[in-house]
Amino acid sequence: MNRRPTRTRTASVLLLAALAALTGCSAGSGDAPATPPARITEATAAPAPTASAAPVKPLGRSLPVRVRVPAAGVDTGPTGTVLELGLAADGTVEVPSVEDAERIGWYDKGVTPGQTGPAVLIGHFDTARGPAVLKNVSKVRVGDEITVTRADGTTAVFRVGELEQVDKDAFPTAKVYGDTEGPELRLITCGGELVDGHRPDNIILYADLVATRGA
């Protein structure tokens, strides 16, 4: 049975994620780094569609195994496994390795996609080797869908409701990891012009569960 995380659990998650900006994103200057997307502002987003009258029933816990973001050309494939990401030794959230730059990771200290709460997915925009899985994140608009297939055979369908680009030093930890009334998704990558081989910003897509399949 699903239930909203308790305040104690939320405080713990926020504490663990206090340095949760994707500090591990970096790109080299020699191997054709990806062109950074135009800075995300309200002007780059289409108007949000009318919200559904009835909320979608949350799903139980089941690990994500496939992520699709059609607007950005992302499909991790029917046999691709979504990475499980925890916390690094310095307390920051792990990011996929350079070798896994074409894969999406799920932050395993939080809920799974479709459960009540904010499920967090993380992927590289680029690395020292070049463009990565979220290289076309700038093509995503409010109203676009993100679908997550889960290990139990169900699929959670999310609709993007907000896009945000923030300096990593001002990462909105509570907004990303805090309690939500229903099932939500955050998809996070890096952005901004390269500074000393690193991208200074995070790009965050916020999405709400709008449908489930196979449940």
CATH, residue 148: 2.40.260.10
The three-class DSSP label of residue 205 is strand
Indicate whether 26 pLDDT > 90: no
Find the helix or strand (DSSP H, E) in which 167 lies.
Answer: strand 155-167
Indicate whether 57 pLDDT > 50: yes
pLDDT at site 54:
77
Indicate whether 164 pLDDT > 90: yes
Domain interval for residue 14: 7-213
Domain presence at residue 39: yes
Domain presence at residue 2: no
The C-alpha atoms of residue 54 and residue 143 are separated, in whole angstroms, by: 17
Domain presence at residue 102: yes
pLDDT at site 107:
97
Domain presence at residue 84: yes
**What average pLDDT does the segment 73-80 reach?**
88
Sorting pLDDT into bands at 50, 70 and 90, what band is 21? low
Domain presence at residue 98: yes
pLDDT at site 81:
84
| Alpha helices, H only, 53-95 | none
Domain presence at residue 203: yes
Domain presence at residue 38: yes
- What sign results for the dihedral spanned by CA atoms 82, 83, 86, 91? negative
Sorting pLDDT into bands at 50, 70 and 90, what band is 60? very high
Looking at the 3D structure of the chain, how many domains does it have? 1
Indicate whether 115 pLDDT > 50: yes
Neighbour-count burial for 9-30, b at 16+ CB within 10 Å, e otherwise? ebeebbebbeebbbbbbbbeee
Domain presence at residue 1: no
